[in-house]
């Protein structure tokens, strides 16, 4: 039997995404408990209008529990404490008690900016769906219905994923504001069916990238999204999305940012120019993962251009065909464009990392602790305008290729571009290569790595620092100084052949790897507060 209840409602008022917002309070009297929550809000607005106040704005549509527009955060729960599989429109006042204080808030996420009060802009979900693109289906001539055999289990699971209504409750419940449950459901509904297979990997990558772009956070598997989803979507979809095979290894770049220092990195100081370019390019890619694609494109362009130059070698310029000239110019344009982008990133990164590396070297090296680095290239870097660096570099690369065309054709190899650059490292007034001692070389290489670590951290990313058997190459003073330099790092992985080489770290956990087994050497002491 229905009864009337009275309660206090606190509702959120905000006049746009930039407004600070606040709670207003209103006393509700004698509301029948068989009233739906949205009908109660209609009564609230009638009372507010009657008293001359501004009505409370909220989202709603059909009120039949099938669309998810009724996106309200009620007493700390998206859609309120309804029956599992229901939205706010299926929440009734019998769920509340007489004298309760009911708090109503909007979805809170950077991806859902507030339009007004509890109405939020959920077009970010539409952008994610649009990023998924299309599906390719071989139609050919008209076929019989259900000609493609699909296992019932897969069809049922795909249908379950497709029931996601995009209400955003998963985002509202997640402490990170992640949309992974929504994205994984929309990816899975096509990934489970043969019609969605051709673009599956491309679709997943594009939708995840768009999710990050529009402002949603990352998933940490707290399962809060699954607990509040009105359509009972499962986090198994997130696992399916995360374990999807990558079409190219470079698509993994950026998933985990690391800075690694190993004995082989001594080549940065003592090795060939290619070793120093590799160090700088690795740091560039750690800062901007998309640069991995730029480096791959550069390698492809160089292979194609060198192949053409070899085919043209042995001929005089007068004997080159118009087709060869056109093709060479096309590769020149591509090399200038991609090379300028990589060169610009290198110059910026070297300038940014040098102060951090200099500070690290001063910490590690007890004496003669001043270092410098100079980027060496065949191009003239003087007089480049700050607002047109890439364009200027591209033009100068084209000019250099034009000037050295005869020589390149004669030798059958590309002589211009970032693939031939070098970095001069100096300690004090002398170049490190050829003049630095073994200890100084080690200290410099380590300082460059630690500088890269500090640079990535300054960009707002907390990378994992890996020190692979480096303490054995340092004296006692440098060991202690290095330990102090990395003490504030969030995650440091240290390997050593001899455990005594590693200084004591208060929070360290040690493991012994022996005979194909990993065993803890000592466990952390747990202290109760």
Per-residue pLDDT band for 325 (boundaries 50, 70, 90) equals confident
Domain with CATH 1.20.1050.90 in the chain: 268-453
Residue 526: its pLDDT value, please? 43
Q: Which residue is listed with tokens 């509700």?
A: 28
Domain with CATH 3.10.20.30 in the chain: 4-116
Give the residue-averaged pLDDT of 251-268. 79
Tell me which of 134 and 209 has the higher pLDDT: 209
Exposed/middle/buried for residue 523 (C-beta within 10 Å: 0-12, 13-18, 19+): exposed
Per-residue pLDDT band for 1 (boundaries 50, 70, 90) equals low
Q: Distance between CA atoms of 500 and 476, rounded to whole angstroms?
A: 11
CATH topology assigned to domain 268-453: Glutathione S-transferase Yfyf (Class Pi); Chain A, domain 2 (1.20.1050)
Is the pLDDT at 215 greater than 70? The verdict is yes
Dihedral of alpha carbons 232, 236, 239, 241, sign: negative
> How confident is the prediction for the chain on average, in pLDDT?
86
Which helix (DSSP H) or strand (DSSP E) does residue 482 occupy? helix 476-485
Residues 405, 308 contacting (CB under 8 angstroms): no
Residue 290: its pLDDT value, please? 83
Domain 122-138+150-247: assigned CATH number: 1.10.1060.10
pLDDT in tens, 374-424: 999 989 888 888 888 999 999 999 999 999 998 998 889 999 999 999 999
Per-residue pLDDT band for 141 (boundaries 50, 70, 90) equals low
Domain 4-116 CATH superfamily: Beta-grasp domain (3.10.20.30)
Exposed/middle/buried for residue 520 (C-beta within 10 Å: 0-12, 13-18, 19+): exposed
Residues 447, 361 contacting (CB under 8 angstroms): yes
Least confident of 247-256, 258-267, 271-280: 247-256
Percent of the chain whose predicted confidence (pLDDT) is above 90: 43
Give the residue-averaged pLDDT of 22-32. 94
Tokens representing 404? 């050295």
Residue 102: its pLDDT value, please? 95
Residue 373: its pLDDT value, please? 94
Is the pLDDT at 481 greater than 50? The verdict is yes
Least confident of 76-85, 95-104, 309-318: 309-318
Residue 524: its pLDDT value, please? 44
Give the residue-averaged pLDDT of 460-465. 82
Domain with CATH 1.10.1060.10 in the chain: 122-138+150-247
pLDDT in tens, 484-526: 878 888 888 888 888 778 887 766 777 888 877 888 876 444 4
List of E strands, 189-265 = 258-261
Tokens representing 117? 């009060």
pLDDT in tens, 155-207: 899 999 999 999 999 999 998 899 999 999 999 988 888 877 778 888 888 89
């Amino acid at each position: 039997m229905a009864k009337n209840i009275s309660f206090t409602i606190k509702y959120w008022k905000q006049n746009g995404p930039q407004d600070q917002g606040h709670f207003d309070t209103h006393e509700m009297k004698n509301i029948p408990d068989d009233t739906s929550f949205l009908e109660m809000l209609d009564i609230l607005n009638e009372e507010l209008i009657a008293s001359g106040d501004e009505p409370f704005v909220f989202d709603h549509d059909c009120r039949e529990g099938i669309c998810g527009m009724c996106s309200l955060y009620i007493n700390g729960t998206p859609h309120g404490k309804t029956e599992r599989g229901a939205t706010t429109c299926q929440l009734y006042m019998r769920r509340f008690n007489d004298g309760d204080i009911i708090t109503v808030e909007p979805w809170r996420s950077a991806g859902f900016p507030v339009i007004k009060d509890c109405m939020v802009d959920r077009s970010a979900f539409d952008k994610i769906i649009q990023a998924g693109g299309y599906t390719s289906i071989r139609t050919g001539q008209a076929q019989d219905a259900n000609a493609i055999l699909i296992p019932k289990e897969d069809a049922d699971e795909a249908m379950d994923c497709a029931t996601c209504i995009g209400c955003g409750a998963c985002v509202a419940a997640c402490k990170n504001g992640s949309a992974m449950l929504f994205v994984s459901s929309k990816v899975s509904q096509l990934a489970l069916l043969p019609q969605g297979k051709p673009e599956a990997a491309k679709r997943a990558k594009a939708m995840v990238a768009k999710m990050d772009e529009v402002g949603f956070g990352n998933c940490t598997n707290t399962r809060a999204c699954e607990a509040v989803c009105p359509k009972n979507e499962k986090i198994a979809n997130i696992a399916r999305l995360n374990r999807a095979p990558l079409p190219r290894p470079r698509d993994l770049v950026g998933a985990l940012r690391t800075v690694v220092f190993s004995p082989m990195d001594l080549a940065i100081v003592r090795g060939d120019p290619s070793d120093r370019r590799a160090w700088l390019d690795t740091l560039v890619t750690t800062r901007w993962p998309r640069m991995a694609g730029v480096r791959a494109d550069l390698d492809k362009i160089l292979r194609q251009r060198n192949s053409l130059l070899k085919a043209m070698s042995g001929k005089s310029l007068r004997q080159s065909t118009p087709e060869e000239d056109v093709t060479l110019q096309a590769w020149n344009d591509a090399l200038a464009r991609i090379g300028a982008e990589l060169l610009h990133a290198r110059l910026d990164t070297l300038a940014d990392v040098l102060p951090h590396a200099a500070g690290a070297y001063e910490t590690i090296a007890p004496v003669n602790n001043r270092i410098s680095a100079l980027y060496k290239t065949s191009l003239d870097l003087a007089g480049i305008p700050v607002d047109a660096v890439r364009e200027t570099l591209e033009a100068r690369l084209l000019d250099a290729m034009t000037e050295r065309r005869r020589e390149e054709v004669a030798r059958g190899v590309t002589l211009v571009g970032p693939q031939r650059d070098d970095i001069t490292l100096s300690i004090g007034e002398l170049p490190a290569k050829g003049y630095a001692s073994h200890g100084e070389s080690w200290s410099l290489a380590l300082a460059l790595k630690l500088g890269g670590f500090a640079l990535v951290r300054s960009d707002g990313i907390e990378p994992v620092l890996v020190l692979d058997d480096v303490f054995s190459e340092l004296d006692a003073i440098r060991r202690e100084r290095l330990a102090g330099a990395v003490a504030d790092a969030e995650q440091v992985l240290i390997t050593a052949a001899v455990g005594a080489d590693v200084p004591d770290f208060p929070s360290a956990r040690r493991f012994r790897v022996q005979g194909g087994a990993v065993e803890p050497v000592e466990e952390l002491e747990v202290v109760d507060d």
